[in-house]
Amino acid sequence: MSFEAHSCPNGHVTYPRHTVCPKCGEEQTEIVDLTDEVGTVVTWTTSTATPPGVREPNHLAIVEFNLGETNVRALGQTTDPVETGDQVTPVFCKELRDPGAGIREKESQDWDGYRFSPV
* 105 contacts 68 by C-beta, under 8 angstroms: no
For residue 113, with 0-12 CB atoms within 10 Å meaning exposed, 13-18 middle and 19 or more buried, which class applies?
middle
List all residues 6 or more positions away from 93 whose beta carbon is below 8 Å from its beta carbon. Answer: 77, 112, 113, 114, 115
Asked if pLDDT for residue 61 goes beyond 70, the answer is: yes
Say how many Å lie between the first and final Cα of the chain, rounded. 21
Instruction: Tell me the per-residue pLDDT of 70-106, one tens digit each, with 9 for 90 and over.
Output: 999 999 999 999 999 999 999 999 888 887 776 767 6
Q: What is the pLDDT of residue 106?
A: 66
Distances (CA, A) of 85 to 41, 42, 118: 5, 6, 11
Instruction: Tell me the per-residue pLDDT of 5-57, one tens digit each, with 9 for 90 and over.
Output: 999 999 999 999 999 999 999 999 999 999 999 999 999 999 999 988 888 99
